[in-house]
């Protein structure tokens, strides 16, 4: 169930059609404000003696979820700082709850700073798995109830964890260790989520590297988006499949909805308000998407899914046009690092989608995640 919750969160990751504003950091008095181009959930302000990062409450954007005050480790705490959570940087020992954030730190070259992780079975990185086996990274158990004693033993100086609505971090909040609330998954823009790497880079004194990682992904994404700007035909697309009794359909302002748009497709459920996924009945989905041109599914199993297996999972699936016309594409998250990569590199996912909907635009391309189902 934990895996499905994580999947829903990733599906619910929100989106847009991306346009670079070209803004740079600007000055306001003695404060240098980083004019973020896409991220809506945070602001970064550079002061002479500290950096303030405000994380907005994604469920009520009029409120502040947390303010972080990053102060260089070798310097004394400055006078006159606003209220907030002080983090001494660069952080030397950090705990991460999710494989997504572990993957981001790996891209920043900071696996050596990770002293503990939750739910290591979901950590696909060979580097992190090797460190776990060698005892350099501690297994802290489930993210819902981590081993707080072990967390203290490994000397954690900070924690990166994803917040959830109307929930707390439990006993961990009493340890006095700063909890960085990684609300990046609630961003509605693909590049908005990627832009959070700038915050994570600041934790380790790697601003220049984080900026470089972001701009590389941004340029690649915008180049791909430009390919579909003038397409004359936009095929219709149906995402996901049923889990239990419900089909969780991404909202019209969601991460996936805007990726479909940027890839030159027409998302059939773009009239669903907001960003979050909504549970729909099979009958509701079937009525609206029976004639969809393409159907994209994600699953996790040892071997790649076939049409026969999809039909065996739920016989009515075979009645969709996309099934009958052999236009179903699957992403086996058990064999590819989909969840670990796309938050930082949405261009990887966008390239697959452009290839599916408009293969003539990417001749000779080999897909990274999605492949046509076999018979």
- Residues 333, 299 contacting (CB under 8 angstroms): yes
Quick one: 49 and 151 in the same domain? Answer: yes
Mark whether 145 and 251 lie in a shared domain.
Answer: no
DSSP per residue, 15-47: -----------EEETTEEEE--SS--SEEEEE-
Q: What is the pLDDT of residue 101?
A: 97
Q: Does residue 60 fall inside a structural domain? A: yes
Whether residues 283 and 192 share a domain: the answer is no
User: 194 with 287, same domain?
Assistant: no
Residues 284 and 358 reside in one and the same domain: yes
146 and 198 assigned to the same domain: yes
SS (HEC) of 136-199: CCEECCCCCCCCHHHHHHCCCCEEEECCCCCCCCHHHHHCCCCEEECHHHHCCCHHHHHCCHHH
Supply the pLDDT for residue 34.
Answer: 75
Is 21 a member of any domain?
no
Asked if residue 15 is part of any domain, the answer here is no
Q: Between the CA of residue 119 and those of 6, 46, 276, 357, 366, what are the distances in Å?
A: 12, 35, 25, 36, 32
Asked, for residue 12, whether it belongs to a domain, the answer is no
Determine, yes or no, domain membership for 18.
Answer: no
- 201 falls within a domain: yes
106-139 pLDDT per residue, tens: 999 999 999 999 999 999 899 999 999 999 999 9
Distance CA 285, CA 188 (A): 23
Q: From 220, 251, 268, give the residue that closes a domain.
A: 220
Sheet holding 26-28, edge to edge: 26-28, 31-34, 42-46, 51-56, 64-72, 85-89
| Domain total of the chain | 2
Task: Give pLDDT, residue 26.
Answer: 41
List the CATH number of the domain containing 80: 3.40.50.1980
Give the integer Cα–Cα distance in Å for 188 and 255.
6
* CA–CA dist 109, 201 (Å, integer): 10
- Indicate whether 200 and 325 sit together in one domain: no
At which of 166, 190, 220 does a domain end? Answer: 220
Based on the fold, state whether residues 239 and 160 are members of the same structural domain: no
Alpha carbon distance 181, 188 (integer Å)? 17
Q: Which of 167, 187, 220 is the last residue of a domain?
A: 220
In angstroms, rounded to a whole number, what is the distance separating the alpha carbons of residues 341 and 344? 6
How far apart, in whole angstroms, are the C-alpha atoms of residue 305 and residue 301? Answer: 8
Q: Specify the pLDDT at position 191.
A: 97
Question: What domain range includes position 203?
Answer: 27-220
* 234 and 171 in a common domain: no
pLDDT at 229: 96
Residue 22 lies in a domain: no
As a residue count, the chain comes to: 375
Determine the pLDDT at residue 30: 58
> Are 106 and 44 found together in one domain?
yes
Based on the domain organization, do 197 and 331 belong to the same domain?
no
Asked if residue 76 belongs to a domain, the reply is yes
211 and 192 in one domain? yes
pLDDT under 50 in the chain at which residues? 1-29
């Amino acid at each position: 169930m934990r895996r499905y919750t994580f999947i829903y969160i990733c599906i619910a990751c929100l989106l847009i059609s991306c346009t670079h504003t070209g803004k740079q950091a600007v000055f306001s008095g003695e404060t240098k404000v980083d004019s973020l181009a896409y991220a809506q959930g945070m602001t970064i302000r550079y002061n002479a003696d500290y950096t303030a990062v405000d994380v907005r409450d994604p469920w009520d954007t009029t409120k502040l979820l947390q303010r972080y005050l990053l102060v260089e480790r070798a310097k004394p705490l400055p006078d006159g700082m606003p209220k907030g959570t002080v983090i001494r940087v660069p952080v030397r020992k950090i705990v991460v709850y999710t494989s997504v954030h572990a993957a981001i730190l790996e891209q920043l070259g900071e696996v050596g700073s990770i002293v503990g992780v939750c739910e290591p079975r979901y950590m696909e990185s060979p580097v992190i798995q090797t460190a776990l086996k060698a005892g350099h990274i501690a297994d802290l158990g489930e993210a819902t109830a981590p081993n707080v004693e072990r967390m203290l033993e490994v000397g954690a100086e900070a924690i990166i964890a994803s917040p959830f609505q109307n929930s707390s971090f439990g006993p961990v909040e009493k340890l006095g260790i700063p909890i960085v609330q990684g609300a990046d998954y609630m961003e509605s823009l693909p590049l908005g989520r990627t832009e959070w790497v700038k915050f994570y880079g600041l934790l380790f004194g790697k601003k220049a590297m984080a900026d470089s990682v972001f701009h590389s992904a941004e340029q690649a994404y915008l180049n791909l988006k430009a390919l579909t700007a003038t397409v004359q035909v936009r095929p219709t697309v149906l995402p996901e499949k049923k889990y239990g009794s419900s089909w969780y359909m991404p909202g019209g302002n969601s991460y996936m909805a805007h990726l479909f748009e940027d890839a030159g497709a027409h998302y059939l459920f773009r009239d669903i308000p907001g960003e979050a996924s909504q549970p729909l009945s099979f009958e509701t989905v079937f009525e609206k998407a029976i004639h969809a041109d393409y159907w994209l599914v994600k699953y996790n199993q040892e071997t790649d899914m076939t049409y026969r297996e999809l039909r065996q999972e739920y016989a009515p699936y075979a009645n969709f046009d996309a099934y009958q016309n052999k236009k179903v594409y699957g992403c086996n998250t058990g064999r590819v690092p989909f969840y670990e990569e796309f938050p930082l590199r949405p261009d990887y996912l966008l390239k697959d989608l452009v290839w599916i909907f408009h293969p003539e635009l990417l001749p000779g391309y080999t897909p990274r995640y999605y492949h046509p189902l076999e018979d």
